[in-house]
A and B are shown apart, each in its own frame.
Chain A
Amino acid sequence: MTGGWPIAPVLAVDLAGSAAMILLAVCALILARRLTRRDPGNVVWSFLWVLSLSLAAFSFSRGVGHIARILLVGAGRADAWQALAPLSGSINTATFMAIAGVTVFYGAVERAFLDLSATTDALRQTYTQLKDAYDALAADQARIVALERFALADRIAASLAHQTRNPIASIAGFAGILKRKCKGDQEVCANLEVISQEAAKLEQLVDGILKARHELASVFVETAPAAVAAALFEAVREKAALAGVRLWVRDSGVSGTINADVDGLVMALKEIVLNAVEVTPQGGEVIIGLTSEGGRVLLTVADRGSGIAPEVARRIFDPYFSTKKLASGLGLSFAKEIIETHNGYVNFVSRPGEGTTFTVSLPLVAPHGPDAGAPAAG
């Protein structure tokens, strides 16, 4: 061995470095492949994959060339290395060109990625808009179908009302005539009384339908609020009893009268009370209250049911809205309409789990005559 700087460290670094480059190139390929597999549509990952391939080709060609050179020359086969060297060097040069070409391509990759991202965002936004429009169309279509169904039901109900009104009047009339002739037979008289009462209820129902359709004029008369409350109590008493719900009327002693089409108003209030009865558990109670305030009478219907959820509360007076199966959703809407024809209004307070109180406010008839406003004697 001659004196001077030895070749051994250079060869050792060359051998170890070449092996390390090959090993690292394999790691880079595995990691870049993992990136592209995780998100195959990502062009940046695709770029890194191609760059890794180029660097791997460079590392393999250079590493194998250097190792082969050291081994062949070290084994005294310099001639073999001389034959191999041009091929190894050419491949190495070609990989430089490949790396340069791939790297310069990054600018185009980035632009493509940004364009693709912008297009994807726009497409996503358009999709959301289309979906919203589709949902709105579907909702409108469902509403149209429901409206057509109710219009048909409405026409059928009106047709039935028209066709049954006269037969019911005849039944009621003939039952009255027979009642006057059955003085000796108590049982027959009692049965005829039942016929008369049921016919009267049917007449009320038919009139209610026709009034709701404005095909029959409402008949407004001055009435005591207590009389309306009493009629209401009678109208729902039987159904409340069947449901096992106690029904109370608490009249705080309202004086004065209201202008009301009693049959129509009772039908409207009946919808509110029956709803209260339906949500009250067996053994519970529904209280019909009667008070006055500022020239108006306040009729309240309070239950201790489950209450009304906020999302339902917003739509409770909407026509055709109901949380019950097989319900028309017209009851409360109809009640509100009838109450408003009496210059009244209806609102409610509800706490989920604690119950609901509906309040119907109706104007009291202004006192008239010479003694109007005079303090009561005694």
Chain B
Amino acid sequence: MSGARRTLGLLAGLTAGLAAAAPALAVQTHGAPEGLYAHQIGHVLFAAALVFLYVKITLSPLATGRGWGALKLSCVFFFLWNLAAFANHWLEEARPGPLFNGAGGGLWSRSMAVPAANADLLAYLLSLDHLLCVPAMVFFVLGLKRLAEGES
């Protein structure tokens, strides 16, 4: 009986304490720039992992033949894509307004004003980043195809 009484006392004390507590900032909030930081860190980790995989495949006694060579090329293109995407996000954050503007027109009729700053020209080119990630995926598929065809 005395044990039950002690438990009830503790619960009552805890409830009173919680009700009287001031905000202690125990739960961190996630404001606007945090998403961008996380995304950029993701790009850095993605790129670093590809460098690691490229080196491992080059040094590996197991990974020989054209299939693994294609996978290495895939690593190179994905690495370049990460650099391009990272740089483009950075330029985008640094720019005061949008890259493309259109006076009341639709999305497809927008354009980048010229003459433009070098950073904007670079951002325009970097927006074509699929020209890097699609070849990366093509080489990845080619590598798997050669391995699936029986290459060691």
Contact = CB atoms under 8 A, between A and B. Distances in A.
Interface majority SS on A: helix, strand, loop or mixed? helix
Contacts of A97: 42, 45
Given A1-B109, A21-B137, A24-B138, A31 B148 contact: yes
Contact of B137 (A14, A31, A55): A55
B81 to A, nearest CB: 11
Contacts of A2: 101-103, 105, 110-111, 113
Contacts of B111: 1-7
A110 B130 contact: no
Interface residues of A, number: 55
Contacts of A10: 100, 124, 127-128
A1 B35 CA distance: 33
Size bin of chain B's contact surface: 35 or more
Interface in B88-139: 100-103, 105-114, 116, 124, 127-128, 130-131, 133-134, 137-138
Interface in A140-162: none
Contact of A28 (B48, B110, B113, B141): B141
A113 B62 contact: yes
B53 interface: yes
A14 B130 contact: yes
A21 to B, nearest CB: 6
Contact of B49 (A13, A90, A104, A113): A104
B128 A3 contact: no
Interface of A: 1-11, 13-14, 16-18, 20-21, 24-25, 27-28, 31-32, 34-35, 38, 44-45, 48, 52, 55, 59, 70, 73-74, 76, 86, 89-90, 92-94, 96-97, 99-101, 103-104, 106-107, 110, 113-114
